[in-house]
Amino acid sequence: MDPDGLEDAMDLSKDRSQNQGVYIYQPAKSGKAAGERPSKRRKVSSTNMKKDLSESPAFMPLLNGDETPECVQLRFDTYKQLWSDQENKIQNILEDVDAGVLTDVLSFVRETSPQTSDGCIPTGLVTVGSNVSSLSRLLSRLNDQLKSTNEGGVVVLESGDAPNLKTSLKNIIRAAVTNTEGNDGYQRFLTDRSGPRVLGYDLDLLYDYVQRRGTKKLVLALRDSEAFDPALLTDLFSLFKSWLDRIPFTVILGISTSVELFEGRLPRSCVSLLQGQHFEVQEAGNCVDRIYEALQTRADGQIWIGRNITSTLFEKASDYFQTPEAFSRIVKYAFMSHFFANPLSVLLGNPDPSVLPQGRFCEAIRNLPSFQMFCEDLLEAGSANESRNMIQDDKYLLRAAFDHVEAGQQAMRHIFSAVLLIHTCLQHTQATKKTTISDLSVRALAGELGESPLVEDMLATVRTMDSGKLTEVLNTLPNLADDSPLTVIQADLQALLETYADSLPLSSEYNINSSVVKTTVVQQRVLLTKGKANLPTQDIEYTKVVDRLVAALQEYFTETLIRPQDLFMHEAFLFDLRNPLKETFTPRPRFAIERALTSPFDYLISTVETGARISAKQPAGAILYQLYLESGALINVHDLWQAFYGVYESDQGKKVDEREVMALFYGALSDLKMFGMVKNSRKKTDHLAKAAWMGL
């Protein structure tokens, strides 16, 4: 009827591109808008337009497009600067974590040779556990080291590269040569040889290369050793063994399970070819904690991630293996989202107030929940004037916002220094289970840390400490401000200790040794009474100091450990939206499809309100899926078809064309098939078996 309609409906574009497997994109030539724009662009692009584009950030103006370009730029720049800062930190942490293993492996590679290992192939067994990405980092750094000293190089082989012996040899040789010579070098290397032509998998080639370069160490690393075919490994190693006198092989095996399991899979003859040393990479969890700590507890931090995200992040990390890189990517995405979509984030860039657009921007601030709370608090405190100013005067508001962003950031820093303090204290007071910074942070960000039993326990333990231990604790505590009561207490304690230097250690009255249990027999019954032992004066004085210390700590905690959500303008420096993050990194594709099919109007915002649950207004796929949901484990196709047709007939009456509906039915059925929801059943003719249950 209408060929355009067909193509539209079927999403068939006129070009043949849909049937091509792979092609290079060509802009549409005969379109309306698309045809003009590129040519127009090209005219200008050579000069100023190009410059504009390269300078303009990837950000879009927010606030309905009313944001000034300066603000957009500032947001972008702030993001870039803040994140590159963080990224460096993360990199340093990763390097630091790897450093230990790297030096071990490097010295192993340097020092071992076939001679030192009884003629066997020297082998490093690296167990990576959950920290899968660490091995690639390790290997690339090892490669850099070896290359820079001209000792040799590292060839990484993955199980996918090794379907059989020939191909794996070929890949090894090529990778070894290209590692130093480059791709062209490899081609030249192949062609420039004198003598008979050698095939690509001949180890003679490698021998040649080793001789030419004077390679001392050729490291072959198998990243996922478990995935290799054991028979192939045996062949490969026995081949290496026989060339070992000419090519200095060292093998590094990345093992995700355990050395014993891996060894068990290999035949004896293979194991006997290797002589190895075992290295262990630090668990990923540790890295993640350290990265998180570095992010949140910086003394000069400007932006923090909130409680929801933290708990999501750590949930994810504990639910399944996650590499530190993946972790930092999620954090990065959080930063990105904040600066990409939050116009307030511009305040973090310390903008000149004159640059800020006043109208919409202030409106945005006034719509913040924290602004409303703040104003209510002001009213309660009786400063109605100020809150009126906030609402009416844009300039006043902006100034206040600036101040509060500063103050809020300061408060956040205090929160985290308190967290650090608690963490250090806990190191001394907790005997067994150590609470991590991330645990503490989650509580702190929720504003619950101050009252948590964790802190109470800690303070109780501090009370019972004797003087020796207490000084130790106080000395390790992070430096607080000079005038804080803690410093005074520390000084007092020091003085006390000097006075009673001969009767150390002092213990407080809370110490278990200081209380005495009295046993009295009254009328043949034993009475136990707990009483305080008579304390020497030095202990009484010490107890006073301890009491002061605990009181000071308590005060400090209640003062600093506030709820970050109570801070005015916290939206600018605290990113705590669970959603873009969760959906972006842990998608639920099956749920999305099921939702699209069961309630299509969640996606298709319809103007027509349909009362019926299933109606012909819905896409065919959705109709069929809902009928499918109603059916049992076995579905009669004929009946399904009749039901499907019935939906259309009841909606449109007799004028509906049965064959057209059938075409729709076909499309919908093939969708279900493609999603793996139905399969052919052999139980009865023309029956389908249900293969997926919604929500399971």
Partner 1 sequence: MKRKLSDSGLENGLAGSTPKRPRRALVQANGAVNGHAPTQSPPNDTATYELPPNQSTPKKSNSVAATPLKESGLKTPTHKSRAKNLFATPTKPKTPAGGTPARLKNADRSAKKKSARVLFEHDDDAEWDGSEQLAAEILQEDEEDDFEPPKESGDATKVVESVEGEGEGEGEANAEKPKGKDAKAPKRRAGRPKGAKNKRSPTPEGELPAHERYFFQNRAGTGKTSNTTLNKVPLLTHEEYFEKLGHLVDPCKEEKDYLLTLHHRSFAQWNFEFEEGYNICLYGYGSKRRLVQGFADWVYQHSVSDNPPIVIVNGYTPGISIRSIFAMIAAALMGDDLPSKLGSQPTEVLELLQSALSNRPIHEGPVTVLINSVDAPPLRRATNQALLARLAATPRIRLLVTADTPNFTVMWDISLRDQLNFVFHDGTTFTPFAVESDVVEEVNGLLGRKGQRAGGKDGVGFVLKSLPENARNLYRLLLTEIITIMDDGHQSDDEGGADSHKAPDEHGIEFRLLYQKATEEFIASSEMMFRTLLKEFHDHQMITSRMDPSGVEILGVPLSRDEMEGVLEDLVLG
Please say which residue, 100 or 163, places its beta carbon nearer to partner 1: 163
Contact call for residue 618 and partner 1 (CB under 8 A): yes
User: Applying CB under 8 A, which part among 171-179, 262-270, 292-300, 558-566 lies near partner 1?
Assistant: 171-179
User: Applying CB under 8 A, which part among 231-239, 306-314, 386-394, 580-588 lies near partner 1?
Assistant: 580-588
Please say which residue, 418 or 627, places its beta carbon nearer to partner 1: 627
Distant-in-sequence, close-in-space partners of 669: CB < 8 Å, separation ≥ 6: 624, 678
User: Applying CB under 8 A, which part among 435-443, 454-462, 520-528, 687-695 lies near partner 1?
Assistant: 687-695
Rounded CA separation 603/593 (Å) = 11
Residue from 5, 65, 195, 196 in contact with partner 1 (CB under 8 A)? 5
User: Applying CB under 8 A, which part among 107-115, 291-299, 314-322, 507-515 lies near partner 1?
Assistant: 314-322
Contact call for residue 617 and partner 1 (CB under 8 A): yes
- The residues in 19-38 that bind partner 1, with binding defined as CB under 8 A, are 19-25, 27-28, 34, 37-38
Rounded CA separation 156/153 (Å) = 10
Other beta carbons within 10 Å of 446: 17
Please say which residue, 120 or 154, places its beta carbon nearer to partner 1: 154
Contact call for residue 451 and partner 1 (CB under 8 A): no
The site that binds partner 1 (CB under 8 A) totals a number of residues, namely: 131
Q: Compose the 205-224 pattern: x for residues touching partner 1 by CB under 8 A, - for all others.
A: ------------------xx
Query: What distances in angstroms separate CA 50 from CA 33, 43, 74, 76, one per listed residue?
Result: 20, 10, 21, 19
- The residues in 350-379 that bind partner 1, with binding defined as CB under 8 A, are none
515-522/634-636 β-pairing: unpaired
Does residue 150 come out as left (phi exceeding 0), alpha (psi in the -120 to 50 range) or beta? left
Q: Take residue 268 and report the two structure tokens written for it.
A: 């004896």
Please say which residue, 30 or 354, places its beta carbon nearer to partner 1: 30
574-575/304-305 β-pairing: parallel
The packing angle between helices 69-111 and 324-341, to 10°, is 170
Residue 474 Cβ vs partner 1, minimum distance, rounded to whole Å: 44
Contact call for residue 321 and partner 1 (CB under 8 A): yes
Rounded CA separation 475/427 (Å) = 13
- The residues in 663-682 that bind partner 1, with binding defined as CB under 8 A, are 663-664, 666-667, 669-671, 673-676, 678-680
Residue from 231, 495, 540, 634 in contact with partner 1 (CB under 8 A)? 634
Give me the helices (H) in 394-516, please.
Answer: 394-429, 437-445, 453-464, 467-476, 485-499
Residue from 152, 594, 614, 624 in contact with partner 1 (CB under 8 A)? 594
Residue 87 Cβ vs partner 1, minimum distance, rounded to whole Å: 11
Rounded CA separation 9/3 (Å) = 10
Contact call for residue 660 and partner 1 (CB under 8 A): yes
User: Applying CB under 8 A, which part among 103-111, 363-371, 524-532, 636-644 lies near partner 1?
Assistant: 636-644
Query: What distances in angstroms separate CA 657 from CA 10, 509, 623, 647, one per listed residue?
Result: 19, 94, 17, 13
Residue 562 Cβ vs partner 1, minimum distance, rounded to whole Å: 33
Please count the residues of the chain: 696
Contact call for residue 381 and partner 1 (CB under 8 A): no
Contact call for residue 171 and partner 1 (CB under 8 A): yes
Q: Take residue 562 and report the two structure tokens written for it.
A: 């506030």
Contact call for residue 107 and partner 1 (CB under 8 A): no
Rounded CA separation 223/117 (Å) = 23
Residue from 195, 214, 589, 611 in contact with partner 1 (CB under 8 A)? 589
Residue from 174, 241, 423, 570 in contact with partner 1 (CB under 8 A)? 174
Please say which residue, 113 or 599, places its beta carbon nearer to partner 1: 599
Contact call for residue 691 and partner 1 (CB under 8 A): no
Residue from 208, 596, 599, 691 in contact with partner 1 (CB under 8 A)? 596
For 501-617, strand residue ranges (E) read: 515-522, 525-532, 574-575
Contact call for residue 322 and partner 1 (CB under 8 A): yes
Please say which residue, 451 or 657, places its beta carbon nearer to partner 1: 657
Please say which residue, 191 or 534, places its beta carbon nearer to partner 1: 191
Rounded CA separation 369/344 (Å) = 13
Residue from 333, 396, 500, 510 in contact with partner 1 (CB under 8 A)? 333
Residue 432 Cβ vs partner 1, minimum distance, rounded to whole Å: 31
Which of 456, 454, 494, 457 lies closest to 474 in space, CA to CA?
494
Phi first, then psi: give them for residue 325, nearest 5 degrees: -60, -45
Contact call for residue 41 and partner 1 (CB under 8 A): yes
Alpha-carbon torsion angle 435, 441, 443, 446, nearest 10: -170
Residue 58 Cβ vs partner 1, minimum distance, rounded to whole Å: 4
User: Applying CB under 8 A, which part among 52-60, 231-239, 424-432, 445-453 lies near partner 1?
Assistant: 52-60
Does residue 323 come out as left (phi exceeding 0), alpha (psi in the -120 to 50 range) or beta? beta
Q: What are the DSSP calls for 298-313, one per residue?
A: -TT---EE-HHHHHHH
CB 224 within 8 A of CB 256: yes
Residue from 88, 183, 211, 286 in contact with partner 1 (CB under 8 A)? 183
Contact call for residue 657 and partner 1 (CB under 8 A): yes
Classify residue 401 as exposed, middle or buried by CB count within 10 Å of its CB (0-12, 13-18, 19+): buried
Residue 666 Cβ vs partner 1, minimum distance, rounded to whole Å: 5
Residue 286 Cβ vs partner 1, minimum distance, rounded to whole Å: 17
- The residues in 469-508 that bind partner 1, with binding defined as CB under 8 A, are none
Give me the helices (H) in 320-393, please.
Answer: 324-341, 359-366, 369-380, 384-392
Residue 421 Cβ vs partner 1, minimum distance, rounded to whole Å: 35
Contact call for residue 226 and partner 1 (CB under 8 A): no
Distant-in-sequence, close-in-space partners of 138: CB < 8 Å, separation ≥ 6: 98, 101, 102, 105, 126, 281
Phi first, then psi: give them for residue 152, nearest 5 degrees: 160, -140
Contact call for residue 696 and partner 1 (CB under 8 A): yes
Tell me the CA end-to-end span of the chain in Å, nearest whole number: 43
Contact call for residue 685 and partner 1 (CB under 8 A): yes
Other beta carbons within 10 Å of 473: 18
- The residues in 127-166 that bind partner 1, with binding defined as CB under 8 A, are 132-133, 158, 160-161, 163
For 342, half-sphere exposure in the C-beta direction (CA atoms, 13 angstrom radius) is 27
Contact call for residue 182 and partner 1 (CB under 8 A): yes
Q: Take residue 396 and report the two structure tokens written for it.
A: 């006043």
Residue 682 Cβ vs partner 1, minimum distance, rounded to whole Å: 8
Classify residue 636 as exposed, middle or buried by CB count within 10 Å of its CB (0-12, 13-18, 19+): middle
Residue from 189, 340, 542, 556 in contact with partner 1 (CB under 8 A)? 340
